[in-house]
Amino acid sequence: MATSASTIDLARISSMDCTQAARLLASVRHATLNGQRPRVLPRPVIQESWGRMLLGGVDPDRDFRSQLLGVEELEARRRASPLAEVMPLLRDALVSVADAAHHIMVVCDAEGRVLWREGNATVLRKADSLGFELGADWSEGVVGTNGVGTPLVVRRPVHVFSAEHFVETHHQWTCTGAPVTDPRDGRLLGVVDISGPLTTMHPTMLALVDSVAKLAEARLRENHASALDRLRSVAAPVVARLEGRAVAVDSHGWTAAITGMPPTNRFALPGSLAAGHTWLPSLGPCAVEPLPGGWLLRVEEEPQPPAARRLVLDVRAPRRWSVTVEGGSAGGWTHELSPRHAELLFLLCTHRKGRSASELAEDMFGDPARTVTVRAELSRVRRYLGNLLAHRPYRFPEDVDVDVLLPDHPANLLPHSTAPAVRAARRVPEP
């Protein structure tokens, strides 16, 4: 009777001699790319990435060098990136470790462009030979499975060792990357990565990089709290003098002062906001006035526009997902989604008759008992969708048209997701 192949894991790779581990992974990759069943299976995160690369036409035999960013554009991206705020922290936590371990620290933006690169001088020169340079594009679709592009897609820390890289010219390399998200709105900011020659692999790198990425997010959260306090000192006296319903928010919708309404931590704002008038599902029509560091929203006590007739969920991009509400005089209103909300809204879009909390928990976690998490997340979703999301069961009203914009191939559907129902929709077997 034939036995199923086991799946290799990082612990097993780490326990082996680097040359031996590289040889084993090369045989796994060779068999997989030639349609054969290897004697051990690649890790699921690697196997799924290889599948995306084959669908995308990435050449497994040789690398592709994208055009580097010009100096001016590189500097502009650095200035615009919130990661600039945490670069001193990242340097203190990682550069000396990377240098001693014959690694380099690389920080990329959400598109996979290398914005900062520091560490061991010898390794920096080796990185140059791979095209791992300032301004280079290291997204999956350009250079294949790697410790920058793959964490950007799956939204979690990933270690890629030797022949786990899809492109053969990167097999002498090991890299570990962790995504950094903006605590203000859940937006993906980029990846912090530690890379070096395969002989320098260390099993603790994954935990180290993940911890430092979380420290960076914590620092951004502290900085945001300070900025919100500054806005509050300006906005609170203004709001206190107003009649009716009004709220002062920062550019990400976080509340600094509120009157005439129950306390609310955050209001979802459209992708672009300007002085004048707007409509928010959670508030209705609002007059918008600028404040230093934010906005004053004064709810206009007029009949709300007709209920939205169309909701569009866009999950085509590998890293950016959004929901757009259309209809009535409100025009279009778009909200960028967190990974968890993208999963939940996709599941609800595919079950128009609705899902109970336990059914969604089964869909999301394979455990119908995890209803508390589901209810908490959907409560957050209702803050920006308002009455467009009904409950008992959770569903979209029948008079709302729902469209889902899907990627070209099912394998690229929410590739970060490990939810059983999403994996089934991607037609990826459970590991």
Shared-domain flag, residues 174 and 282: no
Interatomic CA distance for residues 361 and 10, integer angstroms: 29
Q: Are strands 114-119 and 158-161 parallel, antiparallel or unpaired?
A: unpaired
CB atoms within 10 A of CB 175: 30
Shared-domain flag, residues 217 and 253: no
Shared-domain flag, residues 33 and 159: yes
**Residue 173 lies inside a defined structural domain of this protein:** yes
Shared-domain flag, residues 325 and 292: no
Shared-domain flag, residues 54 and 190: yes
**Residue 231 lies inside a defined structural domain of this protein:** no
**Residue 14 lies inside a defined structural domain of this protein:** yes
Q: Which two tokens stand for residue 344?
A: 């939940």
CB atoms within 10 A of CB 320: 14
**Residue 74 lies inside a defined structural domain of this protein:** yes
Shared-domain flag, residues 75 and 133: yes
Shared-domain flag, residues 178 and 262: no
Shared-domain flag, residues 86 and 154: yes
CA-based R_g, the chain, Å: 24
Shared-domain flag, residues 272 and 164: no
**Residue 341 lies inside a defined structural domain of this protein:** yes
Phi/psi of residue 256, nearest 5 degrees: -105, -30
**Residue 187 lies inside a defined structural domain of this protein:** yes
**Residue 213 lies inside a defined structural domain of this protein:** yes
State residue 1's pLDDT score.
Answer: 37
Tally of structural domains, the chain: 3
Domain CATH code at residue 206: 3.30.450.40
**Residue 431 lies inside a defined structural domain of this protein:** no
pLDDT by residue, tens only, the chain of 431 residues: 344 567 777 777 777 778 888 888 889 999 988 888 888 888 999 999 999 999 888 999 888 878 899 999 999 999 999 999 999 999 999 988 888 888 999 999 999 999 999 998 899 999 998 899 999 999 998 999 999 999 999 999 999 999 999 999 999 999 999 999 999 988 899 999 999 998 877 778 899 999 999 999 999 999 999 999 999 999 999 999 999 999 999 999 999 999 999 888 988 887 778 888 887 877 878 899 999 999 999 998 765 555 557 889 999 987 789 998 876 544 567 888 888 999 999 999 999 899 999 999 999 999 999 999 999 999 989 888 877 888 889 999 888 889 999 998 888 899 889 899 999 998 744 44
Phi/psi of residue 54, nearest 5 degrees: -65, -40
Burial of 244 (0-12, 13-18, 19+ CB in 10 A): exposed
Shared-domain flag, residues 421 and 383: yes
- Whole domain around residue 419: which residue ranges? 310-426
Helices (H), 267-370: 339-349, 357-365
Helices (H), 356-397: 357-365, 371-385
Shared-domain flag, residues 132 and 15: yes
Shared-domain flag, residues 292 and 349: no
Interatomic CA distance for residues 357 and 373, integer angstroms: 9
In which order are the strands placed within the sheet that holds 310-314?
333-337, 321-326, 310-314, 401-405
Tell me which amino acid residue 203 is.
Answer: P
